[in-house]
Structure 1
């Protein structure tokens, strides 16, 4: 992430991809979302999913990890160039979360983040709010996951 003033609306960052394995899906479900169709293929087969599927929260967690890793790579590049690195604040939240298609063992999703809007913080002049559309798609480009995210980013002009 760049300083607030340097961020351009419309910028798309390819965050990377992730392949979901059966073992990983079950381990995540055991820890965080123990519903039968996330834990057992036979139980999943008896539902409208027709088999084992990943928790939607699992896909969101992968999106978050890949986004943080992308920011870390960008900040490392700025440091190598001798440029200042902006502080990132917390996210005040997300909205419009949509799980559009189930994620199955063996699925590989490509994750991306598109800057959709930004505005200076009304109460904290040293920060701006950056809004992004986070998404994941299957290899054919079909959307699987999307949500609107927001994060505080340091301003140069504060």
Structure 2
């Protein structure tokens, strides 16, 4: 059994990685996943004033950075002979917001910060981890934030 605090110290903010959102990627994601039309020229005349990624695109990029971060951390720990936690499913998230759009040409840096964990009486040996997921633009402006939950077994 491992010490969850050593992996998920409450309040410690981890940098997960960054993602550059270019016009081609924004348009590709929009065509594939968003039920809205995007046109780079027409976007200038919208309330956003330019082409921007959907909030779901930004959130999906956070998830990719999150998965990549934890897979690398687990692989490193295993290579060093350390015990590792078992990640389980997520029962959901709360308070998802996109305070500012992510425009074509911007780079967003994603973060993870543990809030707390508690043992699950209904699932002996498992804990429910609460955390913040965030994305910030290059100038430090918050562009995405949510409170997430996932199960973990030490």
Range class of TM-score, shorter chain: over 0.9
* Alignment RMSD: 1.4
Equivalent residues of 1:4, 1:128 under 8 A apart: no
Aligned equivalents of 1:105 and 1:132: distance in 2?
28
Find out whether 1:74 has 2:73 as its counterpart: yes
Q: Which residue of 1 aligns with 2:36?
A: 35
Matched, 1:20 2:29: no
In 2, distance between residues paired with 1:80 and 1:132? 26
| 1:9 alignment partner in structure 2 | 10
The number of equivalent residue pairs is 152
TM-score normalised to structure 2 length: 0.93
Contact 1:3 1:85 in 2 (8 A): no
Moved more, 52-61 or 40-49: 40-49
Superposition deviation, residue 83 in structure 1: 1.3
Q: Distance in 2 between matches of 1:114 and 1:151?
A: 13
Distance in structure 1 (CA, Å) of the matches to 2:132 and 2:104: 25
- For the 8 Å contact 1:3–1:153, the answer to whether it is kept is no
My pick for the range that moved more, 115-124 or 5-14, is 5-14
In the alignment, what sits opposite 2:144?
A: 145
